[in-house]
Every structure is written in C-alpha cells, then in structure tokens.
Amino acid sequence: GSIGLPLPDVDCRIVSLDDGTTDMPVGEPGELIIHAPNMMIGYHKLPTETANTLREQNGKIWLFTGDIAFMDADGYFHIVDRKKDMALIGGFNVYPNIVEKVIKDHPAVLEVGVASIPHPEKIGQESLKAWIVLHPGTAATEAELVAHCEKLLAPYEVPRRFSFIKELPKTAVGKTLRRELIQLEMQEYEKAKSI
C-alpha cells in the first residue's frame, strides 16, 4: 500500500541507491529522501550518523530515511523495504519484504521472516534464507515453498534455505527482528563447525 502524498512544504525524492543523488524514474525503487521545515538538526553527539543522514544537495538539506521506496505515476509513495535489510544476491538487489509477501501467500504459512546470510558454498557472497511459522495443523515442505516462490519470483529472489520454527523474534510492536534470525543462523553455523 501507499504511504500517501507528501504534505505541503515537504519535498520528497527517490534517489539512486548507488550515488544518493540521481532521481529515480517513476515506479523505480531507490532511497526516499525528505526536505521539510520541521526536520531534525542531527543526532545528539553522533556527528558521523548525522552526516550520513542529513546531506546537502542543491542548497537544501535532505534527510536520508533509509527506506527503499518508489513513487507511482500519481505521485504517491510506496515503501518497499529498509535499505539495511536489502540483500545483494548474484549482483541483484533483493528486498526481503517482497519475498516474505510471496511466501506468506502460501496457505500453510502463518508468518515468515527472510534475511540474507553468508552463502554456504560461495565465500563472500550472500544467499536468502526464510524462517517459516506454519499455521497449526498444516504442513509444508521446503520443496513446496521453493516451487511456490519460483512461480512468482525471479530466480535470484528465491530463498535457498528454509527453517521451520515455532515463532519469529519480534519487537514490542510486532516487527520481525531479522538481525536475531541472522544471529540464530550464525550460532547454528558455529555449532555445526565445531562438531
């Protein structure tokens, strides 16, 4: 869904993830940046974070939100994912939220979390893993979920590994904690290495 139109006095742009300055065409994802009269002036005693978040372009200070979004033909903005959650798989940008939505459409899936993890065979590369919570009384196999994903996603967007778990780690407001899923994966990896 859309997050709507900018308020009056608020300028919004979608800029390239590569350079942070090039405006993206309508419908193309990039980072959402905002210029408004009521923006923060910086992070308290964090000059590096302030410099990364508040940047000057063409005489205006822009707040780099860290949100990957696109603008539709009517000027409405749509959030795709968080920049820090984006994965680089085989040279392609992959947005875990999009993959999660596809997997969640499988009738057996109650909840899903997707994150990039180190590729098991290709050193220095990433692959996607999905952690699945099934509806009570249902079953699904990894092969079924892969087939479901392959119908709706590009090959590089299909997770290569799946784990079935009882519950996803979440914040107090119910957002999936991807970093905790990644930590679980790293603990399993270290445990397997020590055997």
Per-residue model confidence (pLDDT) at position 163: 94
Residue 152: CB partners within 8 Å, gap ≥ 6?
102, 105
For residue range 103-129, list pLDDT tens digits in order.
999 999 999 999 998 877 777 778 899
Question: What span, in angstroms and rounded, lies between the C-alpha atoms of 24 and 61?
Answer: 19
Give the containing element (helix H, strand E) for 127.
strand 126-134
Question: What span, in angstroms and rounded, lies between the C-alpha atoms of 91 and 34?
Answer: 28
Per-residue model confidence (pLDDT) at position 194: 72
Per-residue model confidence (pLDDT) at position 188: 80
Mean pLDDT of the chain: 93
Res. 90 pLDDT band, cuts 50 70 90: confident
- Say whether pLDDT at 184 is over 90: no
74 with 64: CB under 8 angstroms?
Answer: no
Specify the range with the lowest mean pLDDT, choosing from 20-29, 152-161, 185-194.
Answer: 185-194
Query: What's the pTM value of the predicted model, to 2 decimals?
Result: 0.77
Average pLDDT of the segment spanning 60-85: 95
Residue 2: CB partners within 8 Å, gap ≥ 6?
72, 76, 77, 78
Burial zone of 96 (CB within 10 Å; 0-12 exposed, 13-18 middle, 19+ buried): buried
Question: What span, in angstroms and rounded, lies between the C-alpha atoms of 30 and 11?
Answer: 15
Letter for the amino acid at 19?
A: D
Nearest to 13 by CA among 64, 82, 56: 64
Give the containing element (helix H, strand E) for 117.
strand 109-118
Letter for the amino acid at 26?
A: V
Per-residue model confidence (pLDDT) at position 118: 80
Domains, the chain, ranges and CATH? 11-84 (2.30.38.10), 86-193 (3.30.300.30)
- Say whether pLDDT at 193 is over 90: no
Res. 190 pLDDT band, cuts 50 70 90: confident
Res. 13 pLDDT band, cuts 50 70 90: very high
Per-residue model confidence (pLDDT) at position 111: 97
Burial zone of 89 (CB within 10 Å; 0-12 exposed, 13-18 middle, 19+ buried): buried
Nearest to 104 by CA among 113, 94, 115: 113
Res. 100 pLDDT band, cuts 50 70 90: very high
